[in-house]
Every structure is written in structure tokens, then in C-alpha cells.
Structure 1
Amino acid sequence: MRASESNNEELNSNNEEEPIELIPSMEEFESELYSGFKKIYLGDIIEGTIITVSDTELLVNIGYISDGIIPVSETMATEEVDITELYHEGDPITAEIIKTDDGEGNILLSIKKAEEILVWDELEKAFNDSKKINVKVTGVVKGGVVCDLKGARAFIPASLLSTRYVEDLNQFIGQDLTVKVVDFDKDSKKVVLSRKEVEREENEIQKSLILSTMKKGDKYMGTVVNITNFGAFVDIGGAQGLIHVQDLSWKKVKHPSEVVKEGEKVEVYIIDFDTKTGKIALGLKDVKEDPWENSINEYSVGKVLTGEIERLATYGAFVKIGDGIEGLVHISEMSDKRVNKPHDIVTVGDKVQVKILNIDKASKRIQLSMKAALDGELDQEEIDKYQPSGEATTSLEDVFKVFLKDINN
């Protein structure tokens, strides 16, 4: 190579420009930095993870260049429940952005506001799906109680608080209840709840279990939940049974309220039940106190005593002759004269003299006579006339003997 050519190449090499490193502007740098993070806007509902928990706030990683801060006032903490009890490092949270910059470059968040928004979606879904939810009773108002569900206010009418009688609504304050949403209007923020619906479902399950193991004569502790003219309904732990008025006491009871009251705890026994219909017949009176077992021996055929007319029927009058013991005076035994209707000669409450004609312990029936009581005590022959015999032995001669005796007398 000639010397002139070599010098020219070296000169050209020296004249080539070296690459220059371009330094981005602050605006370009910021744009590049932020492009790797999701965009956030005021009012967004976002998810994050708690980094630290203090007495005054939560520091949250929200996947942004800046961390999120949640003041204690924007959490679900209360005077009763401290923030450090509710939240822990690593817990996931859902919050609403209430400030994109708190003045120190942090994102200000609110769990409380997010819950207030999300809870209405939860309530609507629970209403549409007939789903159970949990709420806390916070106070008593006219006609029921109010509840709080993540900031949403709901109402439970007193009639929907329980299947049982509720005397004092204040007993529910502070309680956590499992309920169903029975009425819902998102626009007007109206929510009506029912604990009663949940109890009914629970009771049906419990009722099936009780009926599957129940036996006649079994005893249960129960609560009187309703009183009617014909008896009292008692809850025996999920299943309700009826104590008919006649099974409340061995004594005459005009109305069940004379014996029991709503809310009262009582011990009952099973008289009968039907697994298909779920009906349960209960008794309150103790079988050990049955006057037919304890007092009937005080009464004997032929005895004359004073009784009280308890009720009238077309065929006669029922007379109480002792606690839990009554007998029937047939219309033919009410007077020597013809009686068309029992109330023509007696009324309920009248005191009358009666004579015992027959006692049937097996069927617990007593035959009485008002007209025979006028003749005093029966002699043995008259007693035998009213006693049932094991077989029919009455002859035509016996019939005429009684007939002739009546004529002679």
C-alpha cells in the first residue's frame, strides 16, 4: 500500500463520529417509570396486601409506584375492636381510592367506603339467591332492631326476630345473627332481614331428628310460644307440639292462660305424634297425679254426693264430683218427670245431688243419677242392676222381678 493511501484511511477513521448516549428528560423518565404500573383513578376499588399495621394506619402494597395508606378511621376498626385485632401483615384487602396524593406522594385509601359499596352488591345477591348472611344487632327502634353489615344499615321487625315469643328486644343488642334478606331496595337503601326464616329452616331439620327418636311418654323441657283458646304450643328444641286444653291439668281449665303463659319454661311429655304430618300432641299434667289412680277409690257405687254441673249435652249433663273426676247424668236420670232438654232443669255451675250408679275404671267413666239421689244410698240389689256382667244371664223371670218390685214400691 502506498503511503498516501494509508494516511487517507487513517484520516477518514479519525473523522467518524462516536455514538452519543441520549439522556431522557424528567417527563420522559416519569412516563417510562409509570408505564410499568397500572393506572389508578379517584374512586377506583382496588385490591392490595397489607405491609405493616400500626395503631393509626395500614400501609398497603397496591402494585403502584406509591404505597397506599389507610387511616384507622377508614378501616372497620371500632372502639370495641382494635385495628391490630382486625388486620395483620400479609392480609389481602379491598379499598377505595379517596385521594391519589395525600401531599406526601402516598395514595389514600378507605376500606370502609369500599365495603359500603360492595356490601350492597352482596345484599342484592343474598336477596336474589335467598342466601344467609351474618349481621350484628346495634340497637333497638320502634317495632324491631337495627343491624350493621359492613356499614350498611338494616332492619329486623320484632315479628321476624324469632319463631319464639320475644319479650325484650334489648337482649339482642350486640348479638351476631344469621339472617335472610326478605326485602331489598338498593336505590332507597332499604333492607329488611328475618332471623325467623332461618330458625324455621333450622327447626325443620331439628324436628326431623326429634321425631326420628321420639317415643310416647318421653319427657322434654320446652318453652310456651303461643296460646290459643284450644291449647298452648310449646317448642321442645326445634319442634313444636300442642298441649290441648284438656291435657293442661287434671282440673277443669276454661282457658290455657289459667295454667301457662307465653315464654314460660315447662316440662311436657309426649302423648302422641305423627312422623308424616309432623304433628306432636303434648301433655302437661303429670300422669302420676291422675285422680283416677289416686282418688277414685274414695268413690263407690251407691254413694250420694254433691257435684257441680260442668257442661251440658243433648243427652245429659256432666257433673264434677272431684278434682279431675266427672260423671254423666243421662237425661233419663235427671228427673222423675220427662225432660226434653237438660238445660230445662239445670245450668252450668249449678250444685246438684247425684248418686253413683256405675264406675268404669278402664274407660274412666262414671254413671250418675240425680233422681236416684232423692232415694238415698242404693241397696246391693239396686247396685247390681247397674253393674256390667261378664256374660248376659238376665232371664225373663229376672226382668219381671224388677218390674214387680218397681210396681210394689
Structure 2
Amino acid sequence: MTNQILEETMGDLLKDFDVKRIRTGDILDGEVIDVNDKEVMVNINYAFDGMILKEDLTNMDKDPREVVSKGDKIKVYVLSPNDGEGYVKLSRTRALEITEKEDILNAFNNEENITVYVKEEVKGGLVAYYGNIRIFIPASLASRERIELSSLVGKEIEVRIIELDFKARKIVASKRVLEDAVYEDKKKELWKSVKSGEKRSGIVKKIIKAGAIVDIGGITGLIHLSDLSWGRVHNAEDVVSVGDKVEVFIGEVDTKNERVSLILKDVDKDPWETNATTLKVGDILEGKVVNLLKFGAFVELFPGVEGLVHINEITEENIAKPSDVLKVGQIVKVKVLDVDKVNKKISLTIKDAEEKSKEYMKYNDSDEGVSLGDLFKGLFN
């Protein structure tokens, strides 16, 4: 039967079935009714079934039976309404090229996610495919965390198209943008839950001059040097190291600007409450010089409790500055002059403590023995 006669017969048959004619370029819905190693037969709800040759089924070198099965619903592209054998010649790959482009365009315009298959790692990133369409994922956009790119090869991942130019065959996708969105949502929820005064577990991420940066589960905050310990701290490294797991108290919370201060020292064990409350005017005790200023010296009596020795209370001698007779780290005897528990301030004297100490030693070192009356004789005349 010649092609002309066949076409005429098909035309007559179409009239009898009262169906629409199909044309080259149409995309139809079909159902696989048979498949073998060379071709696929498809029902396209037309007077004649369609046929897809192996080379028109997929761009991969696979047996058609590995690609589709009987009963599968697929999109097909009409290559020819008549292949000369009484079938409609179809292509699945051509249909996919069109529908996949439409999918990608819609996803790009609507900022929707698509699932791609990562085929290989290349210089600068990953090559992935959405069906038959090649997509590039730059290394910097493969994840918000540091990962081995090879760990994604062979996997299906969700991405967002961020650049699209079909003419230039440039399609760029990002996995990181999705992870960043999840991270930001999680962080907003965390900021809502953070309350001043509560205790949280954290990990020291960075040491800076002002203190230590700690991650408390998606939120980072600063532990200032003064909040690392009740005692005086000059360097954060003296107390914590990067990677340390710590228990911290939440200090001030600024949700608007996403800032939070953290406290490492135990706020429930204020040394002023445990030690300073026992101090009385006139007490003599030892302390360590922790800071020297022009007007005086700060002496640590207990960890977290310091008192000021004014320059006039250091020695009877006339000195220009405290460092003329004292040095940081020196252990000295001090006498308590005043205790302001409300403002947590203590006034101390060194010269009076030394003088009393000398008198005491003089009294105890006397061979002959001296009475208190003899020691203070003449003081009250």
C-alpha cells in the first residue's frame, strides 16, 4: 500500500471516528501499552496508537524497559501523524525538552523549588539535571555548611533556580538559598524563645579582644570579659577555648537588632553575697593588687570582690603614683575603711594595716613584756 493510499485511508478513518486531527509538534498525553528493547507503544486516545523508538525515548543509553513500564502515563511529542506503518511517530525526549523548560521557567518566575539529579562534580561546582536539562550548581551555593561536593553526586536534591537564560544555555541553581531560608526561619523562632535570665548550652566559636563569641543553637552572643568570671579576666583564653561546651546565662536581649549578651560566671554565686557581707570596718586581711591607676590601686580580696586603696592610703611617704611602690600581682595587707554593700564598693588602706601590724609585732616581740597601757602611754594625755 502506498503512502498516499495509506494517508487517504487514515483520513477516511478519522472522519468515521469524528476526532480532531493531530499535527507535527503537538504535545499529547499518552499511556504506555507495550514496551520492548527497541520501541514503546503508546495509547494517545487517537484512532491510531503512537510509537516511540528507543532513541526518542531517552538521551541515556538504556533499554526502554528500564525507562518506562506498561501503564505509565507520559507526555509525548508528535514527530509525524503517520510513520508509514499505521502508527503516529512520537518522541518522549522532545516532549520533555519542552515541558521541562516550562517547568523550569515557571519555577524560576514563581521562585519555586525543583528536584534535580546531581550527575558529577566539575571545576567550580556540580553538574545536575532536571530530566534532560543541564543545570550548574556553583560550589559556594551547594550548601551553607562546608561539605565535600562529592557527597552530593548521585543524589537527588532540592534547589532553587537563580539564573536562567535558555538561549545561552545558562541555568544556575542554588541549594544554599533553601538552607539559608530554613536557617533564618529557625533563627526567628529562636529569638522569640530567648528570655533574659534563662540558662542555655553553647559552644565557643571565636575568641576576640572583648571576650568570647558563643553559639547557643543558631544564635550567637558575646560573653564580655567581665562576665567570664567573677574574678578579673584580662584574656578570654585564660578561661575558655574555641570549641568548649559551656553553660551560659542569657543577659540582655535585643530582639530587634538580634543581639544578646551572655554570662558564663554563675550569677547565683555573687561573691559579694557570699564573702563581702562578712566584711566589717577595721578588718585586716590580705589581698592581691590587680590594677594600678593614677589615683590608687585596686586590691582583690576575694575572687570578684575588689577594694580601692586611694593613693593617700598606700604609704606615709609622698609618692607620685601607686606604681612607685606597688606592682600588679603583689600580695599586700589591707585594712577595711568602709564597705558600701549597696553600690558594691570597698575603701581600703595599706598604710594603716602596716602600722597596726608593726605595733602588734612590736608588742609580741618585746622580751620584757609591755602592757597595753605602756604601748599607748601618752596617746590620750
TM-score class, shorter: 0.5 to 0.7
Kept in 1: contact 2:76–2:90 (CA 8 A): no
Q: Cα 1:73–1:204, aligned 2, differ >3 Å: closer, same or farther?
A: same
Secondary structure at 1:153 match in 2? strand
Selected match of 1:161 from 105, 120, 143: 143
Aligned equivalents of 1:159, 1:256: Cα separation in 2: 34
* Alpha-carbon shift at residue 74 of structure 1 (Å): 4.4
Q: Does 1:282 align with 2:265?
A: no
Aligned equivalents of 2:345, 2:114: Cα separation in 1: 57
Query: What's the CA shift string for 1:172-195, capped at 9, x where partnerless?
Result: 556655443344443443344444
Kept in 2: contact 1:304–1:376 (CA 8 A): no
Q: Does 1:67 align with 2:54?
A: no
Aligned partner of 2:376 in structure 1 is: none
Q: Does 1:49 align with 2:30?
A: yes
Query: What's the CA shift string for 1:367-409, capped at 9, x where partnerless?
Result: 5666667657699xxxxxxxxxxxxxxxxxxxxxxxxxxx99x
Kept in 1: contact 2:111–2:161 (CA 8 A): yes
Aligned partner of 1:352 in structure 2 is: 330
Aligned equivalents of 1:196, 1:314: Cα separation in 2: 55
CA RMSD of aligned residues (A): 5.2
Selected match of 1:215 from 195, 204, 209: 195
Query: What's the CA shift string for 1:54-98, capped at 9, x where partnerless?
Result: 69675432345232337499459999xx987x8665554334567
Counterpart amino acid of 2:27? I
Query: What's the CA shift string for 1:269-324, capped at 9, x where partnerless?
Result: 43232444443333445546x57289847996531234455xx66765656677x5
Q: Does 1:243 align with 2:222?
A: yes
Show structure 2 runs of 5+ residues with no match. Answer: 360-378
Q: Cα 1:272–1:95, aligned 2, differ >3 Å: closer, same or farther?
A: farther
Aligned equivalents of 1:374, 1:286: Cα separation in 2: 35
Q: How many residues align?
A: 340
Aligned equivalents of 1:169, 1:315: Cα separation in 2: 61
1:136-215 to 2 correspondence within 5 Å?
A: 147-150=128-131, 151-158=133-140, 161-162=143-144, 165-166=145-146, 177-215=157-195
Q: Does 1:130 align with 2:108?
A: no
Counterpart amino acid of 1:50? E
| Amino-acid identity (%) | 24
Q: Cα 1:188–1:50, aligned 2, differ >3 Å: closer, same or farther?
A: same
Q: TM-score, normalised by structure 1?
A: 0.58
Q: Does 1:303 align with 2:285?
A: yes
Aligned equivalents of 1:37, 1:221: Cα separation in 2: 70
Aligned equivalents of 1:372, 1:172: Cα separation in 2: 75
Aligned partner of 1:93 in structure 2 is: 74
Structure (1 or 2) with the larger CA radius of gyration: 1
* Alpha-carbon shift at residue 120 of structure 1 (Å): 4.4
Aligned equivalents of 2:234, 2:147: Cα separation in 1: 25
Kept in 2: contact 1:245–1:256 (CA 8 A): no
Most deviating of 60-69 and 132-141: 132-141
* Alpha-carbon shift at residue 240 of structure 1 (Å): 1.6
Aligned equivalents of 2:194, 2:89: Cα separation in 1: 64
Selected match of 1:292 from 261, 264, 271: 271
* Alpha-carbon shift at residue 242 of structure 1 (Å): 0.7
Selected match of 2:91 from 92, 106, 109: 109
Kept in 1: contact 2:52–2:90 (CA 8 A): yes
Aligned equivalents of 2:358, 2:154: Cα separation in 1: 73
Aligned equivalents of 1:26, 1:73: Cα separation in 2: 24
Aligned partner of 2:251 in structure 1 is: 271
